[in-house]
Chains A and B, each alone.
Chain A
Amino acid sequence: MRFGPNEEQAALRTAIREMLAEHANAARAAYSRPDSRLWERMTGELGLTAVGVPEEYGGTGANFTDVAFVQEELGRALAPVPFFSSVVLATRVLLESGDAGILLPDMVAGKVLATAALVEAAGDWTFAELSTTARPDGDRWILNGEKHFVTDGTTADVLLVLAHAPQGPTLFAVRVAARVAMDALDATRPLSTVILRGSYGDLVGPPGGALPVLDRALRAASIALACEQAGGAAACLDMAVAYAKTREQFGRPIGSFQAIKHLLADVLVDNESASAAALYAAWALDHAPGEAPALANLCQAFNSDAYVAAAKANIQVHGGIGFTWEHDAHLHLRRAISARALLGPPEAHRERIADRILSAPTGESR
């Protein structure tokens, strides 16, 4: 039994940490002049585009805990890189669609950056009302509509777009479309609007078959995001603890006051829970797939709240300095509150959990 990274995973984690330390200012730079060198290095030197991807597409192997540990580390540093968009979200959509061969090898090779453009202005992750449409045109399709909150949408080479085709909700790979950067509260994860006006798309997966594909892909994405959130929450706690040890008031370090100590102890308990839940869910995705759907909702709901709580506590512990632009505390608060909204609010995830529990036969609510 082992609960934690194996040797290779630990080594990759260290390498990521060291590289991020060399680009220590990257998160802050995202708010003015983004640094694209970081992702180039992560792709070229660390091979992050291959992580968790099956070997047949040139990846390091289908092991989702590899993704989990990377994502946790990136979250810790607020790394402004498109790992989640391309290596998690788009990759999972492609793998689940059965059409991974068309794009994934180029993504792994670092030649193509992809993301998924799924929700619209209402941010509805049930995709109940899609206004984006697709109609066939020879062996291609023509798409019309608008997609919102597309992560890394401006820099991606390929967008995996969900649109309503005559057969029902369907996914398409779109290369040419207008993208407008949204003014993201969390600049470390850029968001765009994608405007499709007769844009050409190529079919990804079966026509009309997008929803089950997305259900599975978003399960993995939820878990990966939860790992990222756990990493972010851990960074907040580290910052707060370090400050509480050194900042003195009333002749004592503020960390010796119970009001501060107990606040941080509660953050610790939630952080341990968040990290354990997300890592376990990542493991379950490969090894106990029956548990994965519920765990994905669980850790997305729980970790969203845990990260926000940790980010808020961090600012509180820092006092006035935590309220300044120069301090990194607000970068986490922005990330935390945005990440909580990214794949639907915790209430929506809890609602799906309740659905599962209450519709299960008595005694089988797991």
Chain B
Amino acid sequence: MDLASTPRTEAFRCGVRRFLAEHLPPGWRGLGALSVAERARFTPRWRETLREHGYLGVAWPEEYGGAGLSTLEQSALQEEFVRAGVPLLPLPTDPFGFSLIGPTILRWGTEEQKRHFIPRILSGEHRWVQGYSEPDAGSDLFALRTSARLVDDAWVVNGQKVWQTAGDSANWIFVLARTEPSAARARGLSLLLVPIEQPGVEVRPIRTLTGEAEFCEVFFTDARTDAGHVVGARGDGAKVALTLLGYERGAASGALYAGYRVELERLIELIRSRGLDADAGVRRRLAWCWSKVEILRVLGLKTLASVQAGATPGPESSILKLYAAEYHARITELALDLLGSDAMVRSGDPGAAKIGVDPLGTPNSPSAWQHAFLTARAGTIYGGSSQIQRTTLGEQVLGLPREPRPEGGRT
């Protein structure tokens, strides 16, 4: 066991802290403390600051405008940003550009695609969303039916995608589509890059259970994109689309931990302010939450150590996903229990929360916790539901026999 941080990582971390101290507005209390309007003003400016100082696309090679950081450095960077309550991926579409399609293009794309798309992700000119799920293809992703056929020098896309997070602010979508109708399920897919601003694409908002419109459905009617906008080989879409997910979970575990710490501190404040610190049941549930968060830190360290040793993250990354999603559902439920009858009534500053762990500065109000409780349901559904994660762990980590399913299922 050797888990001590190296002087190099610590020096890097100090550099990040210095940058944050120099560039955050005076009196900064965290993104959660900003109103919706303040957020809208702050976010684009902050993104520019990050870009000027090389804090966007940090994992990418320098020749494509990245910073070439190691996994350890990325993890430290993410952690420091979460602690300071400030986003590293400011726009709602940035996670899809920087964590999904960017790395996918860098891994599988042609040189031309890299030179064209990567700088545009950095500049914010291209704002990406993920077009995988369909009404009849969710967990069973490879049952998808959206089709694309090559007509002259363009792909012509028809079909429907659904649940596109940040779809309302995007102008490009990466679409997993069926391009080889005669091939078996998973072998007939390709990953296409499709511009949204064209007559054949229609984006309609969908209201989530909180009442906000955070995701969309996207309709394709003879939508077109360049013949060259396919990532990886034709028919390799399934492989191209899914291989990079594990890497993201590896570097992100530090940030996940830091986020849960911030949330837990807010819960502790809530317990104190409601005078529940002597309640035996509350104390035990708090200790349980604290333990789960600290174990997450250790699991994250273990993942980092293995990534750093050169291991490719495999199906074990499902452990973190399942662990984190289930934990988050529990702590937000505890918060509502602590509110007692106030849990029934919306009151106080709701903050400007989104889906995911609320950032530093989020108000400690019933409304904000109710929002967190409701949105925590998403974690066990998206990105492979908890059931799908358990199947993955059972079959790919424990080696249990597969359940009967159609050829080429997602897991």
Q: Output the nearest chain B residue to A350 by Cβ-Cβ distance.
A: B287
Nearest Cβ in chain B — how far from A364, in angstroms? 9
On whether the beta carbons of A255 and B394 are closer than 8 Å, the reply is: yes
On whether the beta carbons of A268 and B319 are closer than 8 Å, the reply is: yes
Interface residues on A, range: 35 or more
Cα distance, A280 to B304, chains bound together (Å): 14
Task: Given A3-B302, A65-B1, A351-B284, answer yes or no on A269-B394 (Cβ-Cβ < 8 Å).
Answer: no
Question: In A288-313, which residues have CB < 8 Å from any B CB?
Answer: 294-295, 298, 301-302
**Segment at the A interface, from B170-178, B232-240, B293-301, B341-349:** B293-301
On whether the beta carbons of A350 and B288 are closer than 8 Å, the reply is: yes
- In the complex, whether B198 has a CB less than 8 A from a CB of chain A is no
Question: In A238-254, which residues have CB < 8 Å from any B CB?
Answer: 241, 244-245, 252-253
Question: Across the interface, which residues of B come within 8 angstroms of A295, CB to CB?
Answer: 294
Question: Across the interface, which residues of B come within 8 angstroms of A256, CB to CB?
Answer: 400-404
Q: Output the nearest chain A residue to B323 by Cβ-Cβ distance.
A: A269
Interface size on B, residues (CB 8 A): 52
Q: Output the nearest chain B residue to A65 by Cβ-Cβ distance.
A: B1
Cα distance, A276 to B309, chains bound together (Å): 17
Cα distance, A365 to B391, chains bound together (Å): 36
Nearest Cβ in chain B — how far from A29, in angstroms? 30
**Segment at the B interface, from A149-157, A175-183, A334-342, A352-360:** A352-360
On whether the beta carbons of B394 and A261 are closer than 8 Å, the reply is: yes
On whether the beta carbons of B295 and A273 are closer than 8 Å, the reply is: yes
On whether the beta carbons of B283 and A354 are closer than 8 Å, the reply is: yes
Cα distance, A266 to B403, chains bound together (Å): 17
Cα distance, A295 to B319, chains bound together (Å): 21
- In the complex, whether A262 has a CB less than 8 A from a CB of chain B is yes
On whether the beta carbons of A269 and B322 are closer than 8 Å, the reply is: yes
Question: In A88-102, which residues have CB < 8 Å from any B CB?
Answer: none
On whether the beta carbons of A301 and B287 are closer than 8 Å, the reply is: yes
Contact of A354 among B286, B294, B400 (CB under 8 A): B286
Nearest Cβ in chain B — how far from A365, in angstroms? 6
Question: Across the interface, which residues of B come within 8 angstroms of A264, CB to CB?
Answer: 394, 398, 400
Chain B binding site: helix, strand, loop or mixed by DSSP? helix
- In the complex, whether B272 has a CB less than 8 A from a CB of chain A is yes
On whether the beta carbons of B403 and A283 are closer than 8 Å, the reply is: no
On whether the beta carbons of B269 and A261 are closer than 8 Å, the reply is: no
Task: Given A2-B1, A268-B397, A268-B398, answer yes or no on A363-B323 (Cβ-Cβ < 8 Å).
Answer: no
- In the complex, whether A32 has a CB less than 8 A from a CB of chain B is no
Nearest Cβ in chain B — how far from A112, in angstroms? 30
Contact of A261 among B264, B305, B323, B400 (CB under 8 A): B400
Nearest Cβ in chain A — how far from B203, in angstroms? 36
Cα distance, A261 to B261, chains bound together (Å): 31
On whether the beta carbons of A354 and B287 are closer than 8 Å, the reply is: yes
Q: Output the nearest chain A residue to B395 by Cβ-Cβ distance.
A: A261
- In the complex, whether B338 has a CB less than 8 A from a CB of chain A is no
Nearest Cβ in chain B — how far from A235, in angstroms? 14
Question: Across the interface, which residues of A come within 8 angstroms of B308, CB to CB?
Answer: 1
Cα distance, A351 to B290, chains bound together (Å): 12
On whether the beta carbons of A1 and B264 are closer than 8 Å, the reply is: no
On whether the beta carbons of B390 and A262 are closer than 8 Å, the reply is: yes
- In the complex, whether B123 has a CB less than 8 A from a CB of chain A is no
Question: Across the interface, which residues of B come within 8 angstroms of A351, CB to CB?
Answer: 280, 283-284, 287
Task: Given A347-B284, A354-B287, answer yes or no on A3-B305 (Cβ-Cβ < 8 Å).
Answer: yes
Nearest Cβ in chain B — how far from A317, in angstroms? 11
Question: Across the interface, which residues of B come within 8 angstroms of A4, CB to CB?
Answer: 1, 305
On whether the beta carbons of B398 and A265 are closer than 8 Å, the reply is: yes
On whether the beta carbons of A262 and B1 are closer than 8 Å, the reply is: no
Cα distance, A253 to B403, chains bound together (Å): 9
Contact of A3 among B1, B268, B290 (CB under 8 A): B1
On whether the beta carbons of A244 and B287 are closer than 8 Å, the reply is: no
Nearest Cβ in chain B — how far from A28, in angstroms? 26
Task: Given A241-B398, A298-B295, answer yes or no on A257-B302 (Cβ-Cβ < 8 Å).
Answer: no
Question: Across the interface, which residues of A come within 8 angstroms of B323, CB to CB?
Answer: 269, 273
On whether the beta carbons of B387 and A3 are closer than 8 Å, the reply is: no
On whether the beta carbons of B399 and A245 are closer than 8 Å, the reply is: yes
Task: Given A272-B319, A282-B1, answer yes or no on A261-B298 (Cβ-Cβ < 8 Å).
Answer: no
Task: Given A261-B400, A265-B393, answer yes or no on A358-B295 (Cβ-Cβ < 8 Å).
Answer: no
Question: Across the interface, which residues of B come within 8 angstroms of A301, CB to CB?
Answer: 287, 291
Question: Across the interface, which residues of B come within 8 angstroms of A2, CB to CB?
Answer: 1-3, 305, 309
On whether the beta carbons of B390 and A241 are closer than 8 Å, the reply is: no
Cα distance, A280 to B297, chains bound together (Å): 10
Question: Across the interface, which residues of A come within 8 angstroms of B37, CB to CB?
Answer: none
A 260-286 to B, binary, CB cutoff 8 A, 1 in contact else 0: 111011101100110011011011000
- In the complex, whether A287 has a CB less than 8 A from a CB of chain B is yes
Q: Output the nearest chain B residue to A365 by Cβ-Cβ distance.
A: B268
Q: Output the nearest chain B residue to A275 by Cβ-Cβ distance.
A: B302
On whether the beta carbons of B299 and A273 are closer than 8 Å, the reply is: yes
- In the complex, whether B271 has a CB less than 8 A from a CB of chain A is yes
On whether the beta carbons of B277 and A265 are closer than 8 Å, the reply is: no
Question: Across the interface, which residues of A come within 8 angstroms of B398, CB to CB?
Answer: 237, 241, 255, 261, 264-265, 268
Cα distance, A301 to B261, chains bound together (Å): 20
Question: Across the interface, which residues of B come within 8 angstroms of A358, CB to CB?
Answer: 268, 271-272, 277, 283, 286
On whether the beta carbons of B391 and A262 are closer than 8 Å, the reply is: yes
On whether the beta carbons of A287 and B3 are closer than 8 Å, the reply is: yes
Nearest Cβ in chain A — how far from B64, in angstroms? 27
Known: A241-B399, A357-B290. 20 other contacts (CB 8 A): A2-B2, A3-B305, A237-B398, A245-B400, A262-B390, A264-B400, A268-B398, A269-B322, A273-B298, A277-B295, A280-B1, A283-B3, A287-B4, A294-B294, A349-B287, A358-B271, A358-B272, A358-B286, A362-B269, A365-B265
6 CB-based A-B contacts, threshold 8 Å: A1-B305, A1-B309, A253-B401, A258-B391, A272-B299, A358-B271
Chain A residues engaging chain B, CB cutoff 8 angstroms: 1-6, 65, 237, 241, 244-245, 252-253, 255-258, 260-262, 264-266, 268-269, 272-273, 276-277, 279-280, 282-283, 287, 294-295, 298, 301-302, 347, 349-351, 353-355, 357-358, 362-363, 365-366
Chain B residues engaging chain A, CB cutoff 8 angstroms: 1-4, 6, 72, 261, 264-265, 268-269, 271-272, 277, 280, 283-284, 286-288, 290-291, 294-295, 298-299, 301-302, 304-306, 308-309, 316, 319, 322-323, 387, 389-391, 393-395, 397-404
The 8 tightest CB contacts between A and B, nearest first, are A261-B394, A354-B283, A350-B287, A255-B400, A265-B390, A353-B287, A3-B305, A265-B393
